[in-house]
Chains A and B, each alone.
Chain A
Amino acid sequence: MKRDLEKKESNLLENLGRDPLLLSSISDAIDSLVVVLDGTGRIIWYNRACEKTTGLSPYQAQKQYYWDIFCPPQEAELYKEFFYSLQPQDFPCEVETYHQDGKKTAVIVWRNSIFQESDGEIRYHVMTGTDLTQNRESQQKILEMGEQYRALIHASPVAFVLLDPHGFIMRWSSAAEQIFGFSEKEVKGKPITHFFQNKQETIQDYLQMTLGRRSFHNLEFASTGKGGDLVYLDISLAPLYNYRGEVNRLLMVINDISARKKAQQQLQKQLLFQEMVAFISQSLVNISPSQLEQGIYRALQKSGEFFSMDRSFFLWFSYEQQDPDTVYQWCAEDVEPLEVFPQLQLIEGDKPCQIPDVELLPQEQTDRKESLKEQGIASLLLIPMLENGSVKGVLGYDNREGMAPWTQKEISRFQVVGEIIFGVFTRIAYQKALQKSEEYNRSIVELIPDRMIRLNREGKFLDIIKSSQGDLFLSRDDLLEKTLQDVLPSEEAYRFLQGIKRALETGLLQRVDYSLMIPTGNIWFEARIIPYGDGEVMALIRNVTEQKMGERRIQGYNRQLKLQQQELEELYRQLDEEISKARSIHETGLLQEFPSIEGLSIAAFYQPAQNLGGDFYYVLQKGNKLVIYLSDVTGHGLDGAMLSAFVKNTINSYLAMAQEEEITPEAMIAFLTEQYQKERYPSEYFLSIYLAVLDLMSWTLHYLGAGFQDFPLLFMGEGEIQELDNTGLPISPVIPDDLLNTIVKTIDLPAGSTLLFTTDGLTEQLVKNIEYKSRLKPVFSQHASYPPEVMVYAVNEDFKDFNQGSGQGDDDITFLVLQLDPVGTKKYHFQLKSHFQELWQVRQEMEQVLSPSQEREWFLMALHELVANAIEHGNQFHPQKMVEVKVTTTGEYFFASIRDEGKGFHWRERMENTLEMEGKTERGRGLSLTRIFCQLFYNEAGNKAYLMVKRQQRGNQL
């Protein structure tokens, strides 16, 4: 049979070969490529389809090797080797070539067959090729599409599960892995119902119905994943068919809707919460105090049930204490109420305290754990309610079983409930307190004796809070709608209205007194008016008649007291006047101006410790005798002054009576002692005196002291300072005369001698345990050759420096300086009228007597300035006032004193000014200019200037 067929084929081909046109026509009619090769691979012929593929006509392709036409150049050699390696037994065979056609690559599958010679040699290769390019492209597209679907399924959040008809899992997408937590490998071959524990039968029913060619959508099921979490699923089921149209698989599409479901549940819960809050709010709003307890209990019940708690409670703390003083509690059915409530320490600051599971409390809170467990509390939530930063209330919930931790949102819900309950409770509590306070205030108001009325700006009575009957003598009803002007005398009403006006303007309490005349007399009221509301005032009216009467009595006493005080003041004034007069007398007796004695200069200083001093000095000339004495008596008041006056009068009496030769120190002291004893002064009074008599002819000094411890200092023109020490006991009623010192000492004084007499006030001034005495001698020594006025000034300045800036001593300070003019001393005296023309008189005269020198120019310039000041500022050009100028010149200095009759001035302040050189003022440089060249100082009053220019030297420091 086979042989027959082969023969027929051979014959056919042979015939075809003889009729190429017929072959060509046949082969051109088919779509397949047909190529006939010789045994070496060269193309003998190919059909039109090949022509279309290669673009070459059969004639162009003839004799070319097949691989050069149909294979890419890089593969031609490979194919050639393959071609030659083929053995006859290898046929028929298939081979694939890729033919590059422009940009496209044609894929051709060749089926090769051969025609062999009878000797077995291959004569022809007949190749029929099928162009698979389009097929391959379709395959690629299908593959790509499959990949896309796979990727889509893989990436999709929707899970795809392929089930076999029995509901066993075949395929399981990655989303399914996500939802259930199992990999495909883990679930492959397992029933899908496994994932729906409670709904296995339902799922099975749906699977069966799907097998019955039904599809289902949006079936909602809950399932538990690998972790045990509940997931909500939206499931669709559809049958899949095989090529025979039979359902051979089921596709389950699963969508995780847990989030949506939870949101729905939360929304639901939120709605329920809102309902609960609305319920609580409605039941508590406007609740009366009597219903409060019941209202709060309902709120606790409602919230406890809502939050699925066993107990809820509300605690209120009225003070900062650990135990609540108000407690409300609700318990679920069969739950025992708490007897002891959790302590406040559990709450830290304003944060809620949550213990979801007591068992999970850390080790360090074992005590707390045990305590809560004892109370049957397994979970606890405490919400603090704050007022002014401190915990005032607590809303608490607890459960007998542990719970999951509350979220912040849940806690905020608890807080809302707490705020409502706390707000209501606080309101009621404050209402009660307010009520109590109002009652309290009312009771206070009742107790206040004042009447209260409310008035407007115009004085109209708006309200009588407490009866004012008796104050205005009208009943409450009579007063209302009336004005102050209606019920008070016009003057009183006006004053009351002014008080209202002031109160409203200032916002401050105003007091107005007014009175009413009644038949029994005047009644006084005090109205205290305070602003109250808009343009209104509250007036507290008090009957102050008694007070007024009292005040009047006191005023009467005051008047009496004032009179007495005035009398006393008058007495004091008289006394001061007397003392002043006494002081004046005392100071006048001290000699402000000393007798002008040829060849002698004297200056003295006196500063009482109090108003009146006990020190005294005096200088008196009789004939050729000059008596000088200083006394110091007991007492610094009138007694001291009187004793001083006694001393002066006694000595003056003696001098008046005595002959010149009888004027001796011892005679005068004896007389003084005798007179003193006669006067019978009290024994506690002592009298100390230093008495010297200077013979003006011989300049012999006789001196004697009684009770004087400070001896006069003497400078004799040159050499050391001496002390004239001669003293004894003071004069006193208790000291016998024979004990007194009567031995007089004598010394001849040369020209230029200077003597300083002083009482103990100066020398015994104590500063820091040092007596001034230690400084006196050096100062005396330094200035002994200058005029006595300069000595006085120098001692005073030094004393001030010693006495911490004060010239005031603890005791009277009295000293006197006497100087015998040095050899060559000349004195000049001028009395000038208060006119500038007088200036030249002094200058011209002095220029004539003083030889020219630089010092003379300075002295005259300074003198000119000071005299000009005395005329202009001191006497103010007064025609009746004079300026007295005294000039003393020695070989050592030019000295002048310039005294005007003015009031003086604060010379110390002015002396501090420096010379003004900036041109700020035109005048006022006189003193500062003078001080540059001269030593300048004034008496205390400032109306006598002292000026000294040292010759051959300059400087302004004394």
Chain B
Amino acid sequence: MTMNVEYSGKIPVIEMPERVDLTNSHLLKETLFFLYEEGFTEIQLDFSKLESLDSTGLGQLIIFQKKLKERGGNLSIKNVSSESIQDLFQSIDLHKVMDIQF
């Protein structure tokens, strides 16, 4: 089981659920891994529904950004609606590691 993936042109966009944490971060990992194996270099994450993200979810973002970057690609985040997540990202300077659209 993976998370829902839409395509914006040729770029896959993963729709993040309300929460990503220890209980379901493996789904994010599997989805990202599937797309990575498919050969995608650009992957987007839609955060419009996401309200909570823990360290395990954050870990997946950082790991796959590194993998895609090594391939010459990029993992980007769009539609970050949650203020706490926005605050989290700003606090850890995640925008220095990957593209983030608030």
Contact B55 A929 (CB under 8 A): yes
Contact B55 A925 (CB under 8 A): yes
B4-32 contacts to A (CB < 8 Å): 21-23
| CB contact under 8 A between A929 and B58, given known A836-B23, A839-B21, A917-B92 | yes
A919-932 CB mask vs B (1 if < 8 Å, else 0) is: 10111111001001
In the assembled complex, which residues on chain B have CB atoms less than 8 Å from the CB atom of A922?
A: 59-60, 63
Contact B84 A917 (CB under 8 A): no
Contact A861 B66 (CB under 8 A): no
Task: Check if A422 is an interface residue, CB within 8 A of chain B.
Answer: no
Contact A836 B91 (CB under 8 A): no
B48-92 CB mask vs A (1 if < 8 Å, else 0) is: 000010111011101101110000000000000001100110011
Contact B54 A864 (CB under 8 A): yes
A865 CA to B58 CA in the complex, in Å? Answer: 12
Task: Check if B97 is an interface residue, CB within 8 A of chain A.
Answer: yes
Contact A923 B21 (CB under 8 A): no
* B92 in complex: contacting residue of A837, A840, A868, A929, CB < 8 Å: A929
A858 CA to B82 CA in the complex, in Å? Answer: 12
A692 CA to B21 CA in the complex, in Å? Answer: 48
* A921 in complex: contacting residue of B21, B54, B59, B91, CB < 8 Å: B59
Contact A919 B65 (CB under 8 A): yes
In the assembled complex, which residues on chain B have CB atoms less than 8 Å from the CB atom of A921?
A: 59
A844-882 CB mask vs B (1 if < 8 Å, else 0) is: 000000000010011001001100100010000000000
Interface centre among B52, B55, B60, B66, by most chain A C-beta atoms within 10 angstroms, is: B55
A894-934 CB mask vs B (1 if < 8 Å, else 0) is: 00000000000000000000011111011111100100110
Question: Chain A residue with minimal CB distance to B29?
Answer: A922
A933 CA to B66 CA in the complex, in Å? Answer: 25
* B84 in complex: contacting residue of A837, A861, A916, A925, CB < 8 Å: A861
In the assembled complex, which residues on chain B have CB atoms less than 8 Å from the CB atom of A916?
A: 62
A919 CA to B59 CA in the complex, in Å? Answer: 8
* B22 in complex: contacting residue of A839, A857, A933, CB < 8 Å: A839
Question: Chain B residue with minimal CB distance to A858?
Answer: B84
In the assembled complex, which residues on chain B have CB atoms less than 8 Å from the CB atom of A861?
A: 52, 54, 84, 88
Q: Tell me how far the C-beta of B77 lies from the nearest C-beta in chain A, rounded to whole angstroms.
A: 14
Contact A839 B84 (CB under 8 A): no
In the assembled complex, which residues on chain B have CB atoms less than 8 Å from the CB atom of A857?
A: 83-84, 87
| CB contact under 8 A between A854 and B59, given known A865-B54, A868-B54, A915-B92 | no
Contact B56 A923 (CB under 8 A): yes
A822-847 CB mask vs B (1 if < 8 Å, else 0) is: 00000000000000110110000000
In the assembled complex, which residues on chain A have CB atoms less than 8 Å from the CB atom of B93?
A: 917
Contact A868 B22 (CB under 8 A): yes
Contact A854 B84 (CB under 8 A): yes
Contact A932 B92 (CB under 8 A): yes
Total contacts A to B, CB within 8 angstroms? 62
A919 CA to B67 CA in the complex, in Å? Answer: 9
| CB contact under 8 A between A925 and B58, given known A854-B87, A919-B63, A919-B65 | yes
In the assembled complex, which residues on chain A have CB atoms less than 8 Å from the CB atom of B54?
A: 861, 864-865, 868, 926
Question: Chain B residue with minimal CB distance to A929?
Answer: B55
Contact B59 A918 (CB under 8 A): no
In the assembled complex, which residues on chain B have CB atoms less than 8 Å from the CB atom of A918?
A: 62, 66
Question: Chain A residue with minimal CB distance to B93?
Answer: A917
In the assembled complex, which residues on chain A have CB atoms less than 8 Å from the CB atom of B67?
A: 919
Q: Tell me how far the C-beta of B54 lies from the nearest C-beta in chain A, rounded to whole angstroms.
A: 6
A134-176 contacts to B (CB < 8 Å): none
| CB contact under 8 A between A917 and B62, given known A839-B21, A854-B87 | yes
Question: Chain B residue with minimal CB distance to A928?
Answer: B55
Q: Tell me how far the C-beta of A201 lies from the nearest C-beta in chain B, rounded to whole angstroms.
A: 121
In the assembled complex, which residues on chain A have CB atoms less than 8 Å from the CB atom of B52?
A: 861, 864
Question: Chain B residue with minimal CB distance to A918?
Answer: B66
Question: Chain A residue with minimal CB distance to B21?
Answer: A864
A918 CA to B94 CA in the complex, in Å? Answer: 11
* A932 in complex: contacting residue of B65, B84, B91, CB < 8 Å: B91
A840 CA to B58 CA in the complex, in Å? Answer: 19
In the assembled complex, which residues on chain B have CB atoms less than 8 Å from the CB atom of A865?
A: 54-55
Q: Tell me how far the C-beta of B39 lies from the nearest C-beta in chain A, rounded to whole angstroms.
A: 20
In the assembled complex, which residues on chain A have CB atoms less than 8 Å from the CB atom of B92?
A: 915, 917, 929, 932
Question: Chain A residue with minimal CB distance to B69?
Answer: A919
Contact A923 B23 (CB under 8 A): no
A872 CA to B22 CA in the complex, in Å? Answer: 10
A929 CA to B62 CA in the complex, in Å? Answer: 13
Q: Tell me how far the C-beta of B3 lies from the nearest C-beta in chain A, rounded to whole angstroms.
A: 17
| CB contact under 8 A between A917 and B97, given known A836-B23, A923-B56 | yes
Contact A836 B84 (CB under 8 A): no
Q: Tell me how far the C-beta of A936 lies from the nearest C-beta in chain B, rounded to whole angstroms.
A: 13
In the assembled complex, which residues on chain B have CB atoms less than 8 Å from the CB atom of A925?
A: 55, 58-59
Q: Tell me how far the C-beta of B38 lies from the nearest C-beta in chain A, rounded to whole angstroms.
A: 20
Q: Tell me how far the C-beta of B30 lies from the nearest C-beta in chain A, rounded to whole angstroms.
A: 13
Question: Chain A residue with minimal CB distance to B59?
Answer: A922
Q: Tell me how far the C-beta of B23 lies from the nearest C-beta in chain A, rounded to whole angstroms.
A: 5
A839 CA to B66 CA in the complex, in Å? Answer: 29
Contact B59 A836 (CB under 8 A): no
B91-102 CB mask vs A (1 if < 8 Å, else 0) is: 111101100000
A640 CA to B90 CA in the complex, in Å? Answer: 55
Interface centre among B21, B22, B56, B65, by most chain A C-beta atoms within 10 angstroms, is: B22
Contact A923 B87 (CB under 8 A): no
A537 CA to B21 CA in the complex, in Å? Answer: 77
In the assembled complex, which residues on chain B have CB atoms less than 8 Å from the CB atom of A836?
A: 22-23
A-B contact pairs, 30 of them (CB 8 A): A836-B22, A837-B23, A839-B23, A854-B83, A854-B84, A857-B84, A857-B87, A858-B84, A861-B52, A861-B54, A861-B84, A865-B54, A865-B55, A868-B21, A868-B54, A917-B94, A917-B97, A918-B62, A918-B66, A919-B62, A919-B65, A922-B59, A922-B60, A922-B63, A923-B59, A925-B58, A926-B55, A929-B55, A929-B92, A932-B91
Give 4 nearest A-B pairs by CB, closest first. Answer: A919-B66, A857-B84, A925-B55, A926-B55
Taking beta carbons and an 8 Å cutoff, which residues of A are in contact with B?
A: 836-837, 839-840, 854, 857-858, 861, 864-865, 868, 872, 915-919, 921-926, 929, 932-933
Taking beta carbons and an 8 Å cutoff, which residues of B are in contact with A?
A: 21-23, 52, 54-56, 58-60, 62-63, 65-67, 83-84, 87-88, 91-94, 96-97
Given contact pairs A917-B92, A919-B62, A921-B59, a sample of 13 additional A-B residue pairs in the complex whose CB atoms are under 8 Å apart: A854-B83, A861-B88, A865-B54, A868-B21, A916-B62, A919-B66, A922-B63, A923-B55, A923-B56, A923-B59, A924-B59, A925-B55, A926-B55
